[in-house]
Chains A and B, each alone.
Chain A
Amino acid sequence: MAVEMSMPILVVDDYKTMIRIIRNLLTQIGFENIDEASDGTEAFEKMKKQKYGLVISDWNMEPMTGYELLQRVRADETTKNVPFIMVTAESKTENVIAAKKAGVNNYIVKPFNAGTLKAKMVAVIGDF
């Protein structure tokens, strides 16, 4: 099934600049319907109100981290199937395994480039 380019994507990061970078990359790729949240709590509240086609989240945020957000998303009946990509500077093996164990769909290590972001998105939601 072809990816709907108008699908809403939620970008979660506590650094406005990183949100802006990801938003620009997504726009260049062709996605226009981009929403944002500054931590896990805000993101989950938004996910309970709207259905997103993809969540791209940082790990290290306060008060709710991206890892906690992932766990909560997977534990909730209404959000458990939303594709989830972690984009983070947390680069220890234990982080990757913990994310995989929690149900992450893909994992991008910062710093990253547009090619990596697109490749991981294709792997998660399909080609576009």
Chain B
Amino acid sequence: MPAAEVAARVRESLANLKANDLKDAQVMEVLTLAQQLTDTMQLFFGSLDQSIHKEFVYIADYIARTRTEISKLRPNDIKEQRIPTAGAELEAVVTDTERATEAIMAEAEALLDSKPDDLAAYKAQVDDAMMRVIEACSFQDLSGQRVSKVVESLRHVEKRVSRFAATMGVHDAEADEDEIAETERKKKLHLNGPAIGGPEVGQDAVDELIASDLDQNAIDALFD
């Protein structure tokens, strides 16, 4: 029952009591005070109802907006289509690359192992091997197309997640313990992986570092 309705009923009861011709002044004073209190409470509960109502309307709007944004994110499409497809494409790239590498290596090893007596026959063998090497290199075209599809899917996911985060005002939470531990482990073991665009330090620079007489302090300074 709404607070305003409760207050109205209490006020009605008090009015009835007053109408019963009570002569006791103390009781009348209490009733007068009670009526004033009830009027005050009615205002209070009325305003409370309004603010609670506004809060609930805001929460309902927020939930509706969140549902809409999640819907626009299309999580099921990402989970069931985009990511699995991207994973399958990358697996295919690995398989194609391995197959091509195996073919090229086999041809190279066969030529390295061959003991040519007849130069004309050896020339024909080399020509055939080189043709198979060239054929094997066709994997690059397919791999390029597959990787482009993966990049497109990643951009698609990135765009939707970015929009969702911006609209909902999402801030990044702290990484969980497992992620922090893995990051620390990689840092400790210097597991950086291949640099994009070639080695960060070329072989010549590596040779200089290896040949240099860095003392312990100089080495330690590089890790500070």
Interface residues of A (CB under 8 A from B): 17, 20-21, 24, 27-28, 59-60, 65, 67-68, 89-98, 100-101, 104, 106-110, 112, 116
B112 touches A67 (CB 8 A): no
Nearest-neighbor residue (CB-CB) of B195 within chain A? A91
Distance between B62 CB and nearest chain A CB, rounded to angstroms: 44
Q: Is the interface of B mostly helix, strand, loop or mixed?
A: helix
A95 touches B190 (CB 8 A): yes
B25 at the interface (CB under 8 A from A): no
Given contacts A96-B210, A108-B203, contact A90 B219 (CB under 8 A): no
B189 touches A91 (CB 8 A): no
B194 touches A91 (CB 8 A): yes
Q: Which of B199, B200, B206 has the most CB of A within 10 A?
A: B206
B112 touches A24 (CB 8 A): yes
CA of A109 to CA of B82, assembled, Å: 35
Nearest-neighbor residue (CB-CB) of A16 within chain B? B98
B209 at the interface (CB under 8 A from A): yes
B192 touches A97 (CB 8 A): no
A92 touches B112 (CB 8 A): no
B2 at the interface (CB under 8 A from A): no
A116 touches B209 (CB 8 A): no
CA of A90 to CA of B199, assembled, Å: 8
CA of A17 to CA of B101, assembled, Å: 8
B200 touches A65 (CB 8 A): no
A96 touches B193 (CB 8 A): no
Given contacts A24-B109, A97-B223, contact A65 B191 (CB under 8 A): yes
B193 touches A97 (CB 8 A): no
Distance between B6 CB and nearest chain A CB, rounded to angstroms: 68
CA of A13 to CA of B146, assembled, Å: 27
CA of A112 to CA of B214, assembled, Å: 25
- With beta carbons under 8 angstroms apart, the residue of A92, A101, A104 that contacts B201 is A92
Q: Which of B192, B209, B210 has the most CB of A within 10 A?
A: B210
B1 at the interface (CB under 8 A from A): no
B151 at the interface (CB under 8 A from A): no
Q: Which of B105, B201, B202 has the most CB of A within 10 A?
A: B201
B121 at the interface (CB under 8 A from A): no
B222 at the interface (CB under 8 A from A): yes
Nearest-neighbor residue (CB-CB) of B222 within chain A? A97
Distance between A23 CB and nearest chain B CB, rounded to angstroms: 10
A96 touches B105 (CB 8 A): no
Nearest-neighbor residue (CB-CB) of B113 within chain A? A27
| Chain B residue contacts of A106, Cβ below 8 A | 210
B48 at the interface (CB under 8 A from A): no
Q: Which of A27, A60, A106 has the most CB of B within 10 A?
A: A60
CA of A50 to CA of B36, assembled, Å: 99
B108 at the interface (CB under 8 A from A): yes
Nearest-neighbor residue (CB-CB) of A65 within chain B? B189
B194 touches A89 (CB 8 A): yes
Nearest-neighbor residue (CB-CB) of B187 within chain A? A94
CA of A112 to CA of B206, assembled, Å: 13
CA of A110 to CA of B194, assembled, Å: 9
Interchain Cβ contacts under 8 Å between A and B, 18 examples? A17-B98, A59-B191, A89-B193, A90-B190, A90-B193, A90-B194, A91-B199, A92-B195, A92-B200, A93-B201, A93-B222, A94-B192, A94-B222, A94-B223, A95-B190, A96-B209, A98-B223, A107-B209
